[in-house]
Amino acid sequence: MRELMEPGSGHALSLPGGPRCSSGGFSLIETLAALLVTSLGVMSLAGLLASASGQAKASEYRALAVLLAADIADRMRANAGAAHLGSYQLKVSSLQRDAPDAPSACQEARACTAAELSAQDLAQWRKALFDALPQGAGAIRVVASGQAAYIWVMWRDPSTLAGAAQRGLALVGQLECPPDLVNAEPQVRCLSFRVAL
């Protein structure tokens, strides 16, 4: 107990509580600082999660593009005569904005000719590109010897921003675009393949 002198009487007064001790808890400033550090950590984790999910979607599009390029390459190998004659040539100047026409089936019950089969293969491939990728499109150029072909798969990447930091990445994706693709926007992604027939 602490003692105080009563003024003028000389007697000591006892006060409860004893000697004055410091508080053992956190101060308001320490609590706010801890809250700030924790909130910065949570916000950076949220940004990391958003970036990771965007990269996962971009990887999914690239994997689909590889599968679709392998699909048309296998169709060309199965119809090698038409491929060597250039029936699988397909030029593109822009991405598909509307769904392509439905593939036409061969007429009657007889087997397709090589030219009919190549037209049907290209129509099915274009439809598969449009259905699997955002505004998906493709181009094919068979080399003069007919022994190889260049296949391009293109799509619009919805996660890419047109900001300055993304433009460098966009140019890398456009380097693989076919020469016929005019005025490719930064959101256009292309993958190119050279396949043996």
Q: Looking at per-residue confidence, does 191 or 165 come out higher?
A: 191
Q: Looking at per-residue confidence, does 6 or 40 come out higher?
A: 40
Q: Does residue 170 register a pLDDT over 80? A: no
Question: Taking residues 123-151, what's their average pLDDT?
Answer: 91
What pLDDT, in 10s, does the model give residues 79-120? 999 998 889 999 886 777 777 777 677 765 567 888 888 989
The neighbour count for residue 26, using CB atoms within 10 Å, is 11
Helical ranges in 7-151 per DSSP H: 28-78, 80-85, 114-132
Q: Does residue 67 register a pLDDT over 90? A: yes
Which residues have a Cβ under 8 Å from the Cβ of 197 and sit 6 or more positions away?
A: 76, 77, 80, 83, 84, 142, 146, 147, 148, 149
How far is 160 from 67, CA to CA, in rounded Å? Answer: 22
Q: Looking at per-residue confidence, does 146 or 16 come out higher?
A: 146
Mean pLDDT, rounded, of the chain: 79
Q: Looking at per-residue confidence, does 173 or 50 come out higher?
A: 50
Instruction: Kindly state the percentage of the chain with pLDDT values over 70.
Output: 72
Q: Does residue 36 register a pLDDT over 90? A: yes
Return the pLDDT at 185.
66
Q: Tell me the C-alpha to C-alpha distance, in Å, between residue 42 and each of 19, 50, 54, 132, 159.
A: 43, 12, 19, 35, 23
Give the DSSP H or E segment for 172.
helix 164-174
Phi and psi at residue 139, to the nearest 5°: -140, 150
What pLDDT, in 10s, does the model give residues 51-64? 777 778 888 999 99
The neighbour count for residue 186, using CB atoms within 10 Å, is 18
Question: Taking residues 121-149, what's their average pLDDT?
Answer: 91
